[in-house]
Amino acid sequence: MTRDSAKASRWRRRKDARPSELTAAALELFVEKGFAATRLDEIAARAGVSKGTLYLYFDSKEELFKAVIREGLLPLLAEGEELVASMPAPAGELFKAIVMRWWEMVGEGPIGGIPKLIIAEARNFPEIARFYAEEVIDRGKRLLVAVLQRGIDSGEFRPCDPDTLVHLVFSPLMMRVIWKHSLDCCDVHTVPIDIYLREYLELMLRGLRSDTPNRQGSAR
């Protein structure tokens, strides 16, 4: 039984690990070259398996694509939830923390390529697009809206419509991660990320802060 279970578990472990290995390889290539321009040969080669193996785990190239997105988004979503939990702080500080952490989690690392991928393929995969819009964007928006609202309520931020502001505020981060996976490839001059983030925070917090600089701020 020991041997059986050992044997089984070794196989099982392999079989369970496979899909992630495959989607990881596929993510890299989809981000690099787009969905259509990526050949299954390449994905298989990068994952170190044969072409046929892909079909043991995914019914078609499209299904593989969807799995890549779904699996790639799980960390995003988990991170989002985690950040929601760690919120007790003044809005400005909180905003900084969220931004820095987001960049760490998403900006670096391979899942940062997903937004570009979604943008490129949204029209060809409406199902994926809707899923992404609802499960990722709306969820992220709710998170940031809550931060903005807290700042407004406390007087730290000026009165404004958080549902609009959230798009404006988040855009520079999205553009940066999109840029990284598209035009950044060549020899274009790009601002270093630490400077970019510092100036970003400065610009946004100035743009958001209240005109009447009494109370609030360092208070609490």
Partner DNA sequence: TATGAATGAGGTTTCATTCAT
Partner DNA sequence: AATGAATGAAACCTCATTCAT
Helices then strands, counting H and E runs in the chain, come out as 10, 0
Cβ-Cβ contacts under 8 Å for 197 (sequence gap 6 or more)? 99, 100, 103
The verdict on 32 binding DNA (CB under 7 A) reads no
Please report, for residues 35, 72, 100, 184, 190, the alpha-carbon distance to residue 31 in angstroms, rounded to integers and kept in the order given. 8, 12, 23, 13, 20
Site for a copy of itself in 15-34 (CB under 8 A): 32-34
Q: Record the tokens describing residue 70, joined without a space.
A: 């779904």
The verdict on 24 binding DNA (CB under 7 A) reads no
* Cβ neighbours of 5 (radius 10 Å): 10
The verdict on 8 binding a copy of itself (CB under 8 A) reads no
Asked whether the beta carbons of 180 and 107 are under 8 A apart, the reply is yes
Asked whether the beta carbons of 115 and 178 are under 8 A apart, the reply is yes
The verdict on 123 binding a copy of itself (CB under 8 A) reads yes
Shortest approach of a copy of itself to residue 55 CB, angstroms? 13
Q: Residue 209: what are its φ and ψ, rounded to 5°?
A: -70, 155
Please give the single-letter amino acid code of residue 149.
Q
Site for a copy of itself in 180-209 (CB under 8 A): 181-183, 185-188, 191, 195-196, 199-200, 202-204, 206-208
- With CB under 7 A as the contact rule, which of the stretches 8-16, 118-126, 163-171, 188-196 interacts with DNA? 8-16
Shortest approach of a copy of itself to residue 206 CB, angstroms? 5
**Which residue among 133, 142, 153, 219 contacts a copy of itself (CB under 8 A)?**
133
**Which residue among 24, 32, 49, 96 contacts DNA (CB under 7 A)?**
49
Please give the single-letter amino acid code of residue 21.
E
Would you say 10 or 130 has its CB closer to DNA? Answer: 10
Interface residue list for DNA (CB under 7 A):
7, 10-11, 14-15, 18, 38-41, 49-53, 55-56, 59-62
